[in-house]
Amino acid sequence: MDFTALRYFSATAQSRSIRAASDRLHVSPSAISRQIAKLEHELRAPIFDRHAQGMKLTPAGEILLSKMDSVMREFSRVKSHIAALQDLQAGNVDIYCFQTAIESFVAPVLNRFHTQYPDVTFNVRMSSTDEAIEALITGAAEISLIINPPAHDNITRLEVFRDRMVAVFSPQHRLAGRKIVLLRELEDFPFALTEPSFGLRQQLDRVFARHGFEPNTFCVTNSLALVKEVASIGNNCTVLPRFAVERELAAGTIKSAAVRELGAEPLGFFICTLSDRSLSPAAKVFMDIVVDYCRRYRV
């Protein structure tokens, strides 16, 4: 089974037409038909039903298509490894990461990398912790940047730095002048929190449960930007990593205070990879640059 046949199959499945796939790939319809017939011969099963309205996948075709993304990603990764042997760090790197990483250090790290190795391309996707772990397992990501990743047999975790969580509120908030607060002092204020799929939220929920604290949550979102914006208005509040609000603190748009019960709950930032998959040379260098850049966050 060759990748040309798989590529022609994928294009036909997506367009549901050999003619449309032909236009998209700039090859003749007969060439696509031959490759599809070749696949069906190798699989010993039809992968398309031919109708006047177009090509429809059979159950066997559905199974083949469901595996295509991971196969093509792995092939692309292999090409990146081989290219790196000939042209230092050429290739492509797929990265999943949490929003604060994007807001704080991913851009300068990418810029530094690109300056040294301009032939490497990056696909960067913002994600929750659960999504980032799933992306590693399925092969959608080569590297995931995660806050407090859960222990997983197949995931290798490299801690880059630690931070502490702080309560965040507006400069006009009643607690704005405090250096440290107790959880019970926050229970009367409306909370904005991230979704449960975020590692930050998962850690907060464990701490809240341990101390019998039930936040008055009125906003749950997958956007850290919205959490910070909501917390900066009126009597609202939230709890976030200190480095997630550095810009807002410097600009004076929010205030923060340490939370006594969270003092022994450091928040770790990790670079995660799949244990049984070798990294491309480009990915390894990217990890080194991230570690170097983030040393200033170590506590």
The residue out of 30, 56, 79 marking a domain boundary is 79
Give me the CATH number covering residue 58: 1.10.10.10
- Boundaries of domain holding 144: 88-162+268-297
Full-model pTM? 0.65
Say if residues 237 and 186 touch (Cβ distance below 8 Å).
yes
How many other C-beta atoms lie within 10 A of the C-beta of residue 278? 12
**How many domains is the chain built from?**
3
Based on the fold, state whether residues 169 and 189 are members of the same structural domain. yes
**Considering all CA atoms of the chain, what is the largest pairwise distance in Å, rounded to the nearest integer?**
74
Same domain, 122 and 250: no
pLDDT at 87: 56
Let me know whether 175 and 290 are in one domain: no
How confident is the model at residue 299, as a pLDDT?
Answer: 44
Q: What is the pLDDT of residues 59-97, one digit of tens each?
A: 888 888 887 767 666 666 666 666 655 555 567 889 999
Q: What CATH number is associated with residue 236? A: 3.40.190.290
Percent of the chain with pLDDT over 90: 35
For residues 208 and 156, state if they share a domain: no
Asked if 28 and 149 sit in the same domain, the reply is no
pLDDT attached to residue 2: 67
Together in a domain, 32 and 45: yes
Same domain flag for 61 and 136: no
Q: Are residues 273 and 256 in the same domain?
A: no
Q: What's residue 80's pLDDT?
A: 62
Same domain for 42 and 24, yes or no, is yes
User: Which residue, of 31, 50, 79, is where some domain finishes?
Assistant: 79
Residue at token pair 């040393």? 295
Domain identity same for 287 and 150 = yes
pLDDT value of residue 75: 67
Determine the Cα–Cα distance for residues 24 and 17; give it in Å rounded to an integer: 11
Q: Please tell me whether residues 252 and 237 are part of one structural domain.
A: yes
Provide the pLDDT for residue 277. 82
Whether residues 30 and 52 fall in one domain? yes
Instruction: Check which CATH number belongs to the domain holding 125 and give it.
Output: 3.40.190.10
Among the candidates 79, 104, 128, a domain finishes at 79
Q: Residue-wise pLDDT tens for the chain (299 aa)?
A: 567 888 888 888 888 888 888 888 888 888 888 888 888 888 888 988 888 778 888 988 888 888 776 766 666 666 666 665 555 556 788 999 988 888 888 888 999 889 888 888 899 999 888 899 999 988 889 999 998 888 888 899 998 888 889 999 999 999 998 999 999 999 989 999 999 988 889 889 999 999 999 999 999 999 989 999 999 999 999 999 988 898 899 999 999 999 999 887 778 889 999 988 888 888 888 898 898 888 765 54
